[in-house]
Amino acid sequence: MSRKTALKLIGVVIVACYLVPYAVLGSVASWQGAFLFWCLAGLAVIVLNAVATAGFKGAGK
């Protein structure tokens, strides 16, 4: 996956972080659904950040 694609997918995850809890899970009285979504979204952003920054080797040297 290219860096550009990973950064675009991070943007999609960020937009989903606003839409899913309020629009899709807004009518769910339990907090477990939103908590699971936030955990998975956080994991996705961590993985996508690792992919996007994989090419930054020795930039500070």
Average pLDDT, stretch 19-40? Answer: 80
pLDDT band at 25 (very low <50, low <70, confident <90, very high): confident
pTM here is 0.75
* pLDDT the model gives residue 58: 64
Contact residues for 38 (Cβ-Cβ < 8 A; gap 6+): 17, 21
